[in-house]
A and B are shown apart, each in its own frame.
Chain A
Amino acid sequence: MTPQLVLAAMLAAAVLLAAVRLLRWQTKAPPEAKASMGRLALLMAAQPLCALLLYLTLVPPPVTTAAGTLVVATRGAGRLSAAAGSHVVALPEASAPATVERVPDLGTALRRYRDAARIVVVGDGLPARDRDAARGRALVFEPGAAPRGIVRLDLPSRAAPGASFAVGGRAAGTGGGAVELLDPAGRVADRATLAADGGFALHGVARAPGVALFGLRLRDGGGDIVETAKVPLVTAEEAPPRILLIAGAPGPEPKFLRRWAADAGLALHAQYPTGGGMAIGDGTLPVNASTLARFDLAILDERSWAALGGGERAALLGAVRGGLGLLLRLTAPLPDATRRQWQALGFALSGGADVMQVRLAANETPLTRRAVRIGGRDVLPLLRDREGVPVANWRQEGRGRVALWPVTDSYVLALGTSSARYAELWSGVFAVLARGRPMAPPRLEGAARAGERTLICGLTGNAELSLPAGDEVRLLVERPGDCGAFWPVRPGWHQLRQAGTVWPFHVDAADALPAVRATEARRETTRLASDAAVAADGRTQSRPGASWPWFLGWLAASAALWWFERARRAPHQQA
């Protein structure tokens, strides 16, 4: 039941009512007062005419207009060539000449030019603000010059104190060149030359807990600075993983693991069951489900693995499926039973009788590893040598992760000049393998940029947001796990407070990373254009016509009818 039908029914009823009334007047009137048949017919005929005109006033018939074109200049738009019959508008970001009409957004422009059947977007593309307005319309995208600078930047979400973090991305249009990672003091912390496709990866080291602003500097092939960007890094203490270290015998590797664990504040329980009921260590814990539930990662070597009973092994694997990490250090040729058990876990193992050298970095002491080849389904690399060949591997087993570690003397790194390298290596390994933390921090959907809507997901409830100016904003969330949105105004560090925890995050300036934004706008606008090409195929453009001519007609007809009805009756009554 559309409104038009309701309206038509009401008008029809009114016409019917009027006709009945006219007829009753006619029949009840004294004969001398009876109108002539012609007059009655005219009055009867005028009723539906007025109703029709009223209907058309309220619901004017659609008119098909000549299809116009709206040329929209966006940021980075070059020269605008307006074809005949098209309107040219410029969005606020565009640097168009003053003669071009400025519109605050695309929606305004579309309301202003209703005849525009086609939108031509010139420049980098539509910002997020205008994409919804353009959805479903015929859209043609004429991109400007390809963006130059950093076109993709992958930032670390968080880093543990002392751990290393990676910044990746891609640069375009520089003709080779290099990127530099600047530490908060402004010194170059890492440098990398751009790959053939412009990709790069840089590594830095987080220090004390807190927020830090690293910098990224892109230089072109000639060494000139093309772009600088900020790399915000949040360093926060994590709940340290609890580690169970079971080794067949004391040795340098367990010793240095204990040393590092003590320094880094990890809770490590070491036990070396040397056999025959003798044990060295922090006390012998039974390997069962309740013990393993208290740990996040278990590290065994092939001797302690072989010494486990069947029930203990089952308990261990059960705990792994529940989330525990398991690392098996290979220090000697694997017994056949162990090899079979690990092949059942999805690893394909071959060789391993010999040892060989492995170099993790170009200028690093070579380490020794068992010459065992590790393969298998869904096996991911845990450690790579300097050529990028995987040395150690892991795979997902239920909710936990299992890994094989064939390096026998990583402690050599701790003895060398760069003892931090040892901690860095094992920190990375533990980060992959240890049980995940139950509560994930909220995360930003995409980059947060001043002046653009920002989405924060993974909220457990309503959250307070502290803005750089000191104001407080309340994020409303319908269900736990949902996202909340806010509109940052100023760049800088923001703080999200939720359930007693504080999550700082950084909002970029509105003009930060122009090439990244341009690339995103191009991608999204291209997608809109391809969607529109499908949607707008074979559709005619029509819009509601003007209602005022119909209104005038109705007014004239009604007035004439009124006059006609009254004019003849008055002399009659006087008479």
Chain B
Amino acid sequence: MSGEALLGAWLRPVRARSLAGDLLIGLPVAGLAGAIVWRLFGLTPAVLVAGLAVLAAAGVAGLRLRRYHPRWLTRRLDTLRADAEDSAALLLADEATLGPLQRLQRARLERRLAGDDGAMLRPAWPSRRIGAAWLAGAAGVLLAVLLPSRATEPALAPAQEGITVPPGVPKLVAQTLRIVPPAYTGLPARDAAKLDVRAPQGSRLAWRLRFDPQPVAAALLFHDGKRTPLRRAGDEWLAEHRLERSVLYRVVPEGGEGPPLPPLHRLDATPDTPPRLRVIAPERSITILTPGQAGWPLLFEATDDYGVAAAGQLRITVTEGEGENITAKERTLTLAGSGPARRRRFAVRLDPQALGLARGNDIVAQLTVRDTRSPSPQVVRGPSVILRWPAQLEVAGDGLEGLMKKVLPAYFRSQRQIIIDAEKLLRERSRIDAETFAARSDKLGVDQRLLRLRYGQFMGEVAEGEPEPPPTNDAPPKSAGADSEPDEEAHSADDGHGHATPPAAGGAPAFGNVGDVMGAYGHTHDESEAATLLDPETRAILRQALDEMWQSELHLRQGDPRQALPFAYKALGFIKQVQQSQRIYLARVGPELPPIDETRRMTGKREGLARRPLPPVPPAKIDAAPAEAWAALADLPGRAEAPPPLDALERWVGANEARVADPLALVAAIDAVRQEPDCIPCRARLRGLIWTALPRPPAQVQRRDAGDAAGRRYLDALRRGGGR
């Protein structure tokens, strides 16, 4: 490697080291400048200034690089290495100009330096300066970010009071209103340029106001009479208020109370809404425990406008015992919610066995959540969800029936169903053996018999056994209800809808009870004994239907559905005829009372009877204040003579805040009219608001015109003419 190349290779890291050192000093300085500018003027100028500072540092570093030229390197080499023998400059010299001795010395030098990497030549890191610059930069940036400064407060906005005052009287000229919502809301503080604001309930409000000329004192006057004096700080006036409810207020400097009063401003407090709780799983409020169910997953979702507390209380109630002897055990679980604060989900999986759920009992779970409102969080209790383990299935307790278990209601099949099943049986004949076929046909025959007996009740047939309630799952045991009357109450509670329901669904009426059959096929509220069910013609048709059924049953019982089908079809046809017969549907009518026999009225004993006056009817009370103000504020000629009763109206608004949609708007409108009694739009606005608050009076009677003399003559003539 030649000497020059060697010097070039050594110079590069030297220059890099210098550049890096300078930039390390320059960067924190640029950052500090940027932070200061950001604090004072905002982000965009800060980025601009920081960029410029970085460029400047880079420029300075570039200038400083010019020191490190090859001549500097040779001098440095001569200084640092004794074996350079003060002849490093030879490395730069033109070979052609050198003498033989110089060449020899140069070759020696090149040989000596060949193995060196030149690390010793690099300047040392300016570590103290770098450290100082970074320390200063970090401290400055921290200060700039954290230090609150007067310079960051927003400038006051010009006031818009819209009033003209005589010169010399103090007047609000500039304003700003800082709103600091409660910390739990997580909302940032903001500055409003107007004096009418809407803020969360509990916000701290701080006014900064400027008057011209300076008043002696000033205050905020609230519409409910409260007064908050303003505190003077320099040429600004300060006040603070905690917004608990919506209010109207005005800024009144001392000396400014005379007319015109400054306008009212409105502070609206938006209340914190309580959390809303929703059950996501299970979908229905009652879940039936399935056999072998190991767990019961619950999932709730709570939403709130600001945030739901992370912990929710799940109250679990487990019932014990049966019948009327039921006790409940309560325990409480604390659930941790997941998800964002405004939409938290609470999930838990309850173990019915571990909770001690026994057959016939329930587990009731209810979640209680609270929101993050301080000081008093709002507590919301969600809907209850129930896990039910149904009681032991009913065992019929009738001795005659033995131990037969009635698991499902054994409703008889309809004629159409019998036909469908018979046809299905015929289609499947090739696939099943003869014995099964005969058995199924016999079962169909039994169904056909039941149906025949059912319709036979219409005809008064009691030949084959007493009517009995159809066995149902939820009917009480017969021992308890056998001697009681069929449940008339249950029937009448269900009237009007009974056509489609099976007769036994509502209770346990006796099988074939005539009144109940009417409930299924007709509609009557008569005494069942007195009901004329069927006219002779319909009876004849029903008789034919029963005959056909009997034939159908015969063939089915004999294992020959093909033979039975024609009869079954005929029976179905007759039944349809009976059902379509109009006489069986009885129109619903009101009670038909027998006519009053006037000759016999009041002819009995009349001791103790006297003429009796009717109790007096006190008329409904309607507040007069809004109606009077409504009438007085009308834009009629001569309104100036009678000032509207604004004080009475304001008292009424104060007493009836709940009945008025927006009481503050009404108060503000009243104030506007009071300030300017002749302002037509103000009066119209107040009148519109009164209209919304006016209760509707009971409708009175608009009298018709009797007509003039000619009209009366006409009517009289009309009557005489009509009489002819």
A-side interface residues toward B, CB under 8 Å? 158-164, 183-187, 205, 207-212, 237-241, 250, 258-266, 270, 274-284, 303, 306-307, 321, 323, 332-333, 346, 354-355, 368, 377-378, 396-399, 420, 423-424, 426-427, 430-432, 434-438, 440, 466-470, 481, 492-495, 504
Report the separation of the CA atoms of residues A262 and B560 in the bound assembly, to the nearest whole angstrom.
Answer: 80
> Which residues of chain A are within 8 angstroms of B719 by Cβ–Cβ distance?
321, 397-398
What are 9 residue pairs bridging A and B, where the CB atoms are less than 8 Å apart in the complex?
A163-B699, A186-B688, A212-B691, A238-B701, A239-B703, A278-B602, A279-B611, A355-B589, A438-B706
- Chain B min CB distance to A269 (Å): 10
What sequence of 0s and 1s flags, for each residue 569-607 of chain B, a beta carbon within 8 Å of any chain A beta carbon?
Answer: 000000000000000000001100101101001110010
Q: Which of B620, B687, B700 contacts A427 (CB 8 A)?
A: B700
Q: Which of B617, B688, B703 contacts A262 (CB 8 A)?
A: B617
Query: Contact between A210 and B630 (Cβ–Cβ < 8 Å)?
Result: yes
Q: From A271, which residue of chain B is reached at the shortest CB distance?
A: B614
Query: Contact between A185 and B692 (Cβ–Cβ < 8 Å)?
Result: yes
Report the separation of the CA atoms of residues A467 and B635 in the bound assembly, to the nearest whole angstrom.
Answer: 11
Report the separation of the CA atoms of residues A278 and B636 in the bound assembly, to the nearest whole angstrom.
Answer: 55
Query: Contact between B688 and A160 (Cβ–Cβ < 8 Å)?
Result: no
Query: Contact between B636 and A211 (Cβ–Cβ < 8 Å)?
Result: yes
Query: Contact between B611 and A278 (Cβ–Cβ < 8 Å)?
Result: yes
- Chain A min CB distance to B636 (Å): 5
Query: Contact between A398 and B636 (Cβ–Cβ < 8 Å)?
Result: no
Q: From B609, which residue of chain A is reached at the shortest CB distance?
A: A278
Query: Contact between A265 and B700 (Cβ–Cβ < 8 Å)?
Result: yes
- Chain B min CB distance to A93 (Å): 28
Residues of B648-706 contacting chain A, CB below 8 A: 687-689, 691-692, 694-706
The SS class assigned to the B binding surface is loop
* Most chain B beta-carbon contacts within 10 A, residue among A259, A368, A399: A399
**Interface membership of B638, Cβ < 8 A:** yes
Given A185-B688, A259-B617, A493-B637: A275 and B601 within 8 A (CB)?
yes
Residues of B602-657 contacting chain A, CB below 8 A: 602-603, 606, 609-614, 617-620, 626-627, 630-631, 634-638, 640
- Chain A min CB distance to B616 (Å): 8
Given A265-B700, A396-B715, A398-B716: A275 and B602 within 8 A (CB)?
yes
Residues of B290-325 contacting chain A, CB below 8 A: none
Query: Contact between A420 and B702 (Cβ–Cβ < 8 Å)?
Result: no
Report the separation of the CA atoms of residues A440 and B3 in the bound assembly, to the nearest whole angstrom.
Answer: 129
Q: Which of A307, A397, A399 contacts B712 (CB 8 A)?
A: A399
Query: Contact between A266 and B617 (Cβ–Cβ < 8 Å)?
Result: no
Q: Which of A160, A258, A466, A468 contacts B699 (CB 8 A)?
A: A160
**Interface membership of B707, Cβ < 8 A:** yes
Query: Contact between B702 and A158 (Cβ–Cβ < 8 Å)?
Result: yes
Query: Contact between B708 and A396 (Cβ–Cβ < 8 Å)?
Result: no
- Chain B min CB distance to A247 (Å): 11
Report the separation of the CA atoms of residues A241 and B589 in the bound assembly, to the nearest whole angstrom.
Answer: 37
Query: Contact between A467 and B700 (Cβ–Cβ < 8 Å)?
Result: no
Query: Contact between A440 and B708 (Cβ–Cβ < 8 Å)?
Result: yes
> Which residues of chain A are within 8 angstroms of B610 by Cβ–Cβ distance?
278
Given A160-B699, A210-B631, A466-B638: A436 and B601 within 8 A (CB)?
no
Query: Contact between B614 and A281 (Cβ–Cβ < 8 Å)?
Result: yes
Report the separation of the CA atoms of residues A265 and B694 in the bound assembly, to the nearest whole angstrom.
Answer: 18
* Most chain B beta-carbon contacts within 10 A, residue among A263, A274, A426, A430: A263
> Which residues of chain A are within 8 angstroms of B631 by Cβ–Cβ distance?
208-210
Q: From B706, which residue of chain A is reached at the shortest CB distance?
A: A436
**Interface membership of B147, Cβ < 8 A:** no
> Which residues of chain A are within 8 angstroms of B716 by Cβ–Cβ distance?
398-399
Q: From A502, which residue of chain B is reached at the shortest CB distance?
A: B636
> Which residues of chain A are within 8 angstroms of B613 by Cβ–Cβ distance?
280-283
> Which residues of chain A are within 8 angstroms of B718 by Cβ–Cβ distance?
396
Query: Contact between A260 and B698 (Cβ–Cβ < 8 Å)?
Result: yes
Given A187-B692, A263-B619, A355-B590: A434 and B708 within 8 A (CB)?
no
B-side interface residues toward A, CB under 8 Å? 589-590, 593, 595-596, 598, 601-603, 606, 609-614, 617-620, 626-627, 630-631, 634-638, 640, 687-689, 691-692, 694-708, 712, 715-716, 718-719, 722
Given A184-B687, A264-B698, A278-B611: A432 and B606 within 8 A (CB)?
no
Query: Contact between A241 and B627 (Cβ–Cβ < 8 Å)?
Result: no
- Chain A min CB distance to B235 (Å): 44
Q: Which of B596, B626, B636, B696 contacts A493 (CB 8 A)?
A: B636
Q: From A209, which residue of chain B is reached at the shortest CB distance?
A: B631
Q: Which of B593, B687, B703 contacts A238 (CB 8 A)?
A: B703
> Which residues of chain A are within 8 angstroms of B598 by Cβ–Cβ distance?
275, 306-307
- Chain B min CB distance to A244 (Å): 14
Given A185-B689, A275-B598: A262 and B699 within 8 A (CB)?
no
6 nearest A-B pairs in the assembled complex, by CB-CB distance: A276-B602, A436-B706, A208-B627, A466-B637, A427-B699, A263-B698
- Chain B min CB distance to A504 (Å): 6
Q: From A208, which residue of chain B is reached at the shortest CB distance?
A: B627
- Chain A min CB distance to B710 (Å): 10
Query: Contact between B698 and A423 (Cβ–Cβ < 8 Å)?
Result: yes
Q: From A306, which residue of chain B is reached at the shortest CB distance?
A: B598
Query: Contact between A280 and B637 (Cβ–Cβ < 8 Å)?
Result: no
Report the separation of the CA atoms of residues A443 and B114 in the bound assembly, to the nearest whole angstrom.
Answer: 126
Given A184-B687, A276-B601, A398-B715: A427 and B635 within 8 A (CB)?
no
Report the separation of the CA atoms of residues A495 and B598 in the bound assembly, to the nearest whole angstrom.
Answer: 58
Report the separation of the CA atoms of residues A424 and B619 in the bound assembly, to the nearest whole angstrom.
Answer: 17
Report the separation of the CA atoms of residues A401 and B712 in the bound assembly, to the nearest whole angstrom.
Answer: 13
Query: Contact between A160 and B706 (Cβ–Cβ < 8 Å)?
Result: no
> Which residues of chain A are within 8 angstroms of B697 by Cβ–Cβ distance?
161-162, 207-208, 264
Given A161-B697, A265-B619, A436-B703: A493 and B627 within 8 A (CB)?
no
> Which residues of chain A are within 8 angstroms of B696 by Cβ–Cβ distance?
162, 205, 207, 420
Report the separation of the CA atoms of residues A208 and B638 in the bound assembly, to the nearest whole angstrom.
Answer: 20
Report the separation of the CA atoms of residues A265 and B590 in the bound assembly, to the nearest whole angstrom.
Answer: 35
Q: From A426, which residue of chain B is reached at the shortest CB distance?
A: B699
Query: Contact between B617 and A258 (Cβ–Cβ < 8 Å)?
Result: yes
Report the separation of the CA atoms of residues A494 and B635 in the bound assembly, to the nearest whole angstrom.
Answer: 9
> Which residues of chain B are within 8 angstroms of A424 by Cβ–Cβ distance?
699
> Which residues of chain A are within 8 angstroms of B634 by Cβ–Cβ distance?
210-211, 493, 504
Query: Contact between A437 and B699 (Cβ–Cβ < 8 Å)?
Result: no
- Chain A min CB distance to B5 (Å): 86
> Which residues of chain B are within 8 angstroms of A240 by Cβ–Cβ distance?
700-701
Query: Contact between A162 and B636 (Cβ–Cβ < 8 Å)?
Result: no
> Which residues of chain A are within 8 angstroms of B712 by Cβ–Cβ distance?
399
- Chain A min CB distance to B529 (Å): 24
- Chain A min CB distance to B30 (Å): 60
Query: Contact between A209 and B699 (Cβ–Cβ < 8 Å)?
Result: no
> Which residues of chain B are within 8 angstroms of A238 by Cβ–Cβ distance?
700-703
> Which residues of chain A are within 8 angstroms of B705 by Cβ–Cβ distance?
436-437, 440
> Which residues of chain A are within 8 angstroms of B635 by Cβ–Cβ distance?
211, 468, 492-493
> Which residues of chain A are within 8 angstroms of B691 by Cβ–Cβ distance?
183-185, 207, 212
Query: Contact between A161 and B637 (Cβ–Cβ < 8 Å)?
Result: no
> Which residues of chain B are within 8 angstroms of A275 by Cβ–Cβ distance?
598, 601-602
Report the separation of the CA atoms of residues A185 and B666 in the bound assembly, to the nearest whole angstrom.
Answer: 12
Q: Which of B590, B627, B694, B695 contacts A368 (CB 8 A)?
A: B590
Query: Contact between B704 and A437 (Cβ–Cβ < 8 Å)?
Result: yes
Apart from A184-B691, A241-B701, A241-B703, what 17 extra A-B contacts exist at CB < 8 Å? A160-B701, A162-B697, A163-B701, A185-B689, A207-B696, A207-B697, A208-B626, A212-B691, A238-B702, A262-B618, A262-B620, A278-B609, A398-B715, A426-B699, A432-B704, A492-B635, A493-B636
Report the separation of the CA atoms of residues A278 and B634 in the bound assembly, to the nearest whole angstrom.
Answer: 52
Report the separation of the CA atoms of residues A123 and B215 in the bound assembly, to the nearest whole angstrom.
Answer: 66
Q: From A205, which residue of chain B is reached at the shortest CB distance?
A: B696
> Which residues of chain B are within 8 angstroms of A159 by Cβ–Cβ distance?
702
Query: Contact between B704 and A468 (Cβ–Cβ < 8 Å)?
Result: no
Query: Contact between B703 and A434 (Cβ–Cβ < 8 Å)?
Result: yes
Query: Contact between B699 and A420 (Cβ–Cβ < 8 Å)?
Result: yes
Query: Contact between B699 and A423 (Cβ–Cβ < 8 Å)?
Result: yes
> Which residues of chain B are within 8 angstroms of A261 by Cβ–Cβ distance?
617
Query: Contact between B603 and A495 (Cβ–Cβ < 8 Å)?
Result: no
Given A211-B636, A262-B617: A430 and B701 within 8 A (CB)?
yes
